[in-house]
Structure formats: C-alpha cells, structure tokens
A and B are shown apart, each in its own frame.
Chain A
Amino acid sequence: ETGVTQSPTHLIKTRGQQVTLRCSSQSGHNTVSWYQQALGQGPQFIFQYYREEENGRGNFPPRFSGLQFPNYSSELNVNALELDDSALYLCASRGGGSFQTDTQYFGPGTRLTVL
C-alpha cells in the first residue's frame, strides 16, 4: 500500500477521443510523475509536475498534458487518442527531496485500451 491511488482502474476509448486519468498522491508529496507502460515493456517517463508546474518531459507529443492541484491530486489528459496509446498509465509521487534517492511511490495504474 503506497498511499497513491489512481482512477479509473480500466478504461476503454475509441480512436480520436480524449481521456482524463486521475491520481491522488500522498499528503505532502508535491512532485508527481506520469509514466506510460506498454504491454511487455518498462515504464516510459511522460512528464513531471512540481508545485503545479510541469518541470520535465519525456518524448511524448503535446497531446499528452497534465494538471496538478494543491490538494495533491493530478490529472493526465490525452487528446486525439491513437491505438498505440493503449497502455498502463502509472503515476508516482514523492516529497521534495533528492530526485535521485527520494523514493517515488507508484500507484497501481490505469489500464487504457484504445479501439
């Protein structure tokens, strides 16, 4: 039990639609990161938010966007869904310590299927 929750657990969308995934971090964790994990692959870093601002991004197009709120919740939004967006989406939160050694706590993920 990491104290990080995600909703929904599963989601099915069709190509071209938009989706919002939600994450609730541990209280006091002001940094949240989002990862995409395709089937049989390791997680890939999408972006990170710190104090409600994006401060790092991986190789993902602008149709992947996010929001972070003061109540330690956050959202991942994906516009114009493509079939390749089908994956497990993980959020991870941590406190404001060293980004290298401060433990990130991962949520269980949201499984998105795009048809």
Chain B
Amino acid sequence: GEDVEQSLFLSVREGDSSVINCTYTDSSSTYLYWYKQEPGAGLQLLTYIFSNMDMKQDQRLTVLLNKKDKHLSLRIADTQTGDSAIYFCAEIGPYSSASKIIFGSGTRLSIRP
C-alpha cells in the first residue's frame, strides 16, 4: 500500500541547515512534494521533484531523492525563525486524474536562537 513516513520533530539552531527526511513505499510514485504548514494557515507547496531526478535546488531549499531506497530529504540552508512550521512530505502516483496526494504525518521544525 501507499505510505509516507517522517520523523515527528526537528530542532535546529538559527543559521544552521535543517534536514528533514522522509521515506515512502510506493515505487510507482511519479512526483514527490514538500509542503509547509504554519499555524492557522493552509498548506503551502514549497517544491516538488519528478521521480527521475535525484536533486533539485531552489534558493535555500535542496531536495534529494534516492529512488532505490525510496528516501526523500529537504535541506533548508541558513534556517530562519520564519521557517518554523510543520513540513509534510507527499507523493502522487500514476493514478487517475484525481489529485490524490498521499501525505506523511509531518515534521515539526523548531528553531533555537
């Protein structure tokens, strides 16, 4: 079945890099996503990566994909207090046209001064 797993918490010092990890089980996943959720706000798509890529960089964000191990990571460089949020890893397979995105349980990122 489809499953996405993440660690629940991560605490980093301001200015350091944050690395959030995720594993998924569906080998037919075509796209993998990272979403950010702040209190009282909806989900915000941060970035996505196609399954035939192994890395994608977008300003402070770097996504690494190891398809063999079904492992996805999100690195946030120079972590700031505004990065405090819950980060969700998600995947979508080659299903129908429905937007059936499978989300992990989220990693809560907290920033220490």
> Which residue of chain A is the closest to B45 with respect to CB atoms?
A103
How many chain A residues have a CB neighbour from B under 8 Å? Answer: 30
Contact: B100 with A101, CB < 8 Å?
no
How many chain B residues have a CB neighbour from A under 8 Å? Answer: 25
Contact: B88 with A42, CB < 8 Å?
yes
Contact: B92 with A42, CB < 8 Å?
no
Does residue B52 face the partner (Cβ distance < 8 Å to A)? Answer: no
Main secondary structure on B side of the interface with A: loop
Q: Which of B30, B31, B41, B100 has the most CB of A within 10 A?
A: B100
Does residue B40 face the partner (Cβ distance < 8 Å to A)? Answer: yes
A41 to B95, CA, bound (A): 23
A85 to chain B, nearest CB (A): 18
Contact: A50 with B97, CB < 8 Å?
yes
Q: Mark B7-43, 1 if CB is under 8 A from A, else 0.
A: 0000000000000000000000011000000001111
At the interface with chain A, which of B58-66, B67-75, B76-84, B101-109?
B101-109
Q: A55-B96, A55-B97 are in contact. Are A90 and B105 (CB under 8 A)?
A: no
Contact: B101 with A45, CB < 8 Å?
yes
Does residue A16 face the partner (Cβ distance < 8 Å to B)? Answer: no
Does residue A8 face the partner (Cβ distance < 8 Å to B)? Answer: no
List, in ascending order, chain A residues with CB within 8 A of B43's CB: 43, 90, 92, 106
Which residues in B have some Cβ–Cβ distance to A below 8 Å? 4, 30-31, 40-45, 48, 88, 90, 92, 95-106
Apart from the given pairs A45-B101, A56-B97, A92-B99, 13 other A-B contacts in the complex at a CB distance below 8 Å: A2-B44, A43-B43, A44-B103, A45-B98, A45-B100, A47-B98, A90-B43, A92-B42, A101-B48, A104-B101, A105-B42, A108-B40, A109-B42
